[in-house]
Amino acid sequence: MSARRFILLGPPGAGKGTQSQRLVADLGIPQISTGDLLRAARKAGTSLGQKAQSFMDAGQLVPDALIFELVEERLAQPDAAAGYILDGFPRNVTQADEMVGRRIAVERVVLLDVPTDALVARLSGRRVCGQCGATYHADTFPTRLEGVCDACGGAVAQRKDDRAEVVAQRLEVYAKETSPLIAYYASAGTLRRVDGFESADTVYASILTALSA
Ligand code: AP5
């Protein structure tokens, strides 16, 4: 049987969001992306969103306490009872340890492996719909009409933290804070590696295999 409570782990731009959208549609479980939850909190102008803002714009991790507040609230919603895709969470070993203490179950961790130069190209070209969250790429997956979402007609723009200097910082933070999770979950026996430097369709097929293997 396939895992239904799992983490998509990988550096910024590895394709976690892209693949989550497909998994949500096929598996019928929600994507819980801490990045998306933080952006929604910012858009709504909540005090948590305001506290997170400066960290996100600088490419730094948001304090763990704020992240758990968001995640616990989201996991308590009924649609998460039958499973969930954790995207961008946990982000460091402290968060992973705290998940165990809070009994947030994880059956499988799928690591998307992508070379760093490809990550930079993906992130610098990424464009996101401010209305429905659909993701595009200026060169490899453009919208039909420039700046207009194919799916909902919303405005499509570059994320503030996809500017070159912030991307470099996010990659550094990943290497220092997040990549130790690879050894952490490998030693727990839950880690599966997927080559994320393939077409989105091929990556998707590999993820499905990793969830059932
Ligand atoms: P977050 O939103 O989680 O950003 P991230 O992890 O940096 O990941 P991205 O969303 O940038 O990349 P992705 O892997 O989803 O790639 P995508 O599918 O879009 O976090 C943002 C910030 O929030 C953090 O910096 C931090 O401040 C804070 N934060 C979030 N969670 C936190 C936590 N737990 N603790 C503390 N702070 C936290 O793809 C990228 C591009 O590549 C797209 O254009 C796409 O079209 C293209 N692409 C995708 N797949 C392929 C493919 N196979 N081939 C070619 N192109 C592809």
Which parts of the chain sit beneath pLDDT 70? 1
Residue 3: the pLDDT is: 87
Q: Are 17 and 135 in contact (CB under 8 A)?
A: yes
Domains in the chain with CATH codes:
5-30+77-212 (3.40.50.300)
Give the pLDDT of residue 156. Answer: 97
Name residue 192's amino acid.
R
Q: Which amino acid is at 169?
A: Q
How far are the Cα atoms of 2, 184, 190 from residue 213, in angstroms, in the given order?
8, 19, 10
pLDDT for residue 185: 98
pLDDT of residue 157: 96
User: Quick one: pLDDT at residue 71?
Assistant: 98
The residues annotated as belonging to the active site are 16, 91, 126, 159, 170
Could you tell me the distance, in angstroms and rounded to a whole number, from the CA of residue 14 to the centre of ligand 1? Answer: 7
Ligand 1 mutation target, pool 8, 38, 163, most atoms within 8 A of CB: 38
Pocket test for ligand 1, best of 42, 61, 64, 74 (most atoms within 8 A of CB): 61
Question: Any bridge partners for residue 84, and if so which?
Answer: 5
Q: Name the amino acid, one letter, at 194.
A: V
Q: For residue 39, give the nearest of 50, 25, 24, 23 by alpha carbon.
A: 50
- Determine the Cα–Cα distance for residues 140 and 138; give it in Å rounded to an integer: 6
The residues lining ligand 1, judged by C-beta closer than 6 Å to any ligand atom, are 10, 12-18, 33-35, 38, 55-56, 59-62, 67, 88-89, 91, 95, 122, 125-126, 135, 137, 140-141, 161, 170, 199-200, 203
Which pLDDT value is given to residue 1? 67
Structure tokens given for 46: 């909540």
**Report field, pTM of the whole predicted structure over 0.85:** yes
Which residue(s) pair with 157 in the sheet?
128
Determine the pLDDT at residue 73.
Answer: 97
3-state secondary structure labels for all residues of the chain: CCCCEEEEECCCCCCHHHHHHHHHHHHCCCEEEHHHHHHHHHHHCCHHHHHHHHHHHCCCCCCHHHHHHHHHHHHCCHHHCCCEEEECCCCCHHHHHHHHHCCCCCCEEEEEECCHHHHHHHHHHEEEECCCCCEEECCCECCCECCECCCCCCEEECCHHHCHHHHHHHHHHHHHHHCHHHHHHHHHCCEEEEECCCCHHHHHHHHHHHHHC
pLDDT confidence of residue 213? 75
